Structure 1
Amino acid sequence: MKQLNTYDTKEKGEETLTKIDELKELVQKKQNAQPYNEKKHREIITMLKYVANIFEL
């Protein structure tokens, strides 16, 4: 899996992919006006913004 090559370990890459899946679930719940974990949502968004900034994405 190409994306895993950007992380120090395979486990770190898989952990990040899991967070992306978790974010998708949170966003779907938010869009459907269902209860969701706002703190976790903000945490993942903040992490993604940080990574995007570092890699100038």
Structure 2
Amino acid sequence: MKLLNTYEDKEAAEVALTKVQGPKRLASERDDTQVIYNLFGEPSWGNFYRLGMFQLPELQTLITQRQNGLAYNEKKHHEIITMLQYIAGNFELTIPEHWL
């Protein structure tokens, strides 16, 4: 398990915990007077998508538009893929070919 995300709101952290599949846990820590909630789980594109991270829902829309022959924002697609290449390296993931 790796740290997937950090939350300042307990309710938001608990909702996120329900979205993650596989082994997971929520740990809290106090930073001065504020409590921070760390969500740990298996890093996967599915879990990141369910959490709405790294613009994956937007990427899905762009890919669907491209597959259907519709106009799509190529610049935005490139920006998201560039970011995902960095994320993939950090979490030892492979970007699916059909996303590129």
Aligned to 2:84: 48
Identity score, percent = 43
**2:62 aligned with 1:35:** no
> How many residues align structurally?
51
Q: Which runs of 5+ in 1 are unaligned?
A: none
Q: TM-score, length-normalised on structure 2?
A: 0.43
String of CA shifts for 1:4-33, please: whole Å, max 9, x gaps. x6123368x85626x111100000000111
Matched, 1:16 2:67: no
Quick check: which has more Rg, 1 or 2?
2
TM-score if structure 1 supplies the norm length? 0.70
CA RMSD of aligned residues (A): 2.5
More strand by share: 2
Extract unaligned runs of 5+ from structure 2.
Answer: 13-47, 94-100
